[in-house]
A and B are shown apart, each in its own frame.
Chain A
Amino acid sequence: MNLIDGFRTIAPSIPYIINGIWVTLEIALFASIIGFVVGTILSLCKIGRNKLLNGFARGYTSIFRGTPLIMQLALAYFAIPQLLGINTVNAFIVAVITFGLNSGAYMSEIIRSGINAVDKGQFEAASALGVRYWPMMKDIILPQAIKNILPAMMNEFITLTKESAIVSTISVTDMMRRSQIVSAQYYTYFPPMFIAFILYWLVVMILTFLGGRLERRLARSD
């Protein structure tokens, strides 16, 4: 009975928690767009022959994969603005950028493996036709690479959706943060957190399902 009462008490705040999912999804979406762009550029730096760009891309990946995301977030939100003397920082934007840059490091590895998996003959056929490096990458190699790695990129997006819960630590009112706010407001923890918990799971299940369908559709066009 106690539990049901708990849910009844927080009922007016349930929509508030649920709508937090849009904040969560927005962060995941924008971050994955940034991540894709950054990841593509980094992956091209990695497979190219320019030593400087190689080093830069490897260093970048090493830093972002070698430190905790929550640490990067704290650095970007609390430490760097103070260092630069900026007083007001938009937590949402900081979250999107940090997640995007972080995701770019992981994405670059995915894209690199996708490019490496493209038949070497495709590079040769394109260069034998006189196609230059950048058009070849853009029109011939990347489209094939991305098709191969779409499932992996979908996974990255799902991971982002889940991991974005830690933006609650820099006061972005995503679903996680909202469940904490409601918990504190009513001094009752289980109902709000359970709602957020279930909703995260549902969203991830839906995304997984969509990813599976996408994968099957791609397999069919082969």
Chain B
Amino acid sequence: MIKAEHIYKNFGNVQVLKDVSLEVKNSEVVVIIGPSGSGKSTFLRCINLLEKPAKGTVRIDEQEMTALRKSQIIKVREKVGMVFQHFHLFPHKTVLENLTYAPMKVKGLSREQAEERARKLLNQVGLSEKANQYPSKLSGGQKQRVAIARALAMEPEYMLFDEPTSALDPEMVKEVLEVIQSLAESGMTMIIVTHEMGFAKQVADKVVFMDDGRILETAAPDQFFSAPKTERAKEFLEKIL
């Protein structure tokens, strides 16, 4: 379970998050949507404390992240995988090494164990034949699938997706969404920030609409997309659908 309560965050004088609270139950898929600059990504990054909230608490299972010391935060992060808009694969490591590095370094797996797990995951995302390539040789969609596999290699209990398809060419969006979809079906607890409305409708158990640093609406996807309650959400949906 992930539970964020009354999160505030500012960058200098700019208030980015104003009293944001969200609870995600196990095996739940929460999709956060909203206009650019609404604080979606910042909120996501507050959950694994890549950004430190100014106020508020984040709990992951029973651990209060916001109360932990830095070294303890790193420990909890092991169970929270994160996928970024711009992939951030390690360019000097091969695809396989990207997947084995953290499990070996952080979890102390042997090379054999880590590679076995990595190959299984590469197979799962359909990239077995790319194991020994460097990331620069991959397409955007392939990179993002490797990035997902890299996060999964740590066997996380939760996954955070920060606009996973926003940097991709249109024809590569589908292959990435399919991987995320199948992850959702496997029961992974996920928070996804995305602009893909069709995907949101399909995969979400709960849709969260954010604007101007606040959560304006939380609803089941059918309800949200057919009959949004707030004026702001209506406007937003009209513009993009």
Interface residues of A (CB under 8 A from B): 119, 121-122, 124-132, 135, 139-140, 143-144, 147, 221-222
Contacts and interface: CB of A to CB of B under 8 A. Distances in A.
B86 interface: yes
Query: Is the contact region of chain B dominated by helix, strand, or loop, or is it mixed?
Result: mixed
B105 A139 contact: yes
Interface stretch (B24-32, B55-63, B71-79, B112-120): B71-79
Given A129-B154, A139-B101, 7 more contacts: A124-B84, A125-B84, A127-B74, A128-B48, A128-B77, A131-B74, A144-B91
Contact of A124 (B81, B88, B101): B88
17 contacts: A122-B90, A124-B84, A125-B89, A125-B90, A127-B77, A129-B101, A129-B150, A130-B74, A130-B77, A130-B102, A130-B106, A131-B102, A132-B71, A139-B105, A143-B92, A144-B91, A221-B134
B84 A131 contact: no
Interface of B: 48, 50, 71, 74-75, 77-78, 80-82, 84, 86, 88-92, 101-102, 105-106, 134, 136, 147, 150-151, 154
A129 B97 CA distance: 14
Which of A126, A127, A130, A131 has the most chain B CB atoms closer than 10 A to its own CB? A130
Contacts of A140: 90, 101
A120 to B, nearest CB: 9
A168 B64 CA distance: 64
B88 A125 contact: yes
A121 B50 contact: no
Given A139-B101, A222-B136, A128 B81 contact: yes
A117 B219 CA distance: 42
A6 B88 CA distance: 65
Given A139-B101, A143-B92, A129 B50 contact: no
B92 A128 contact: no
Which of A140, A143, A147 has the most chain B CB atoms closer than 10 A to its own CB? A140
Contacts of A127: 50, 74, 77
A169 B141 CA distance: 62
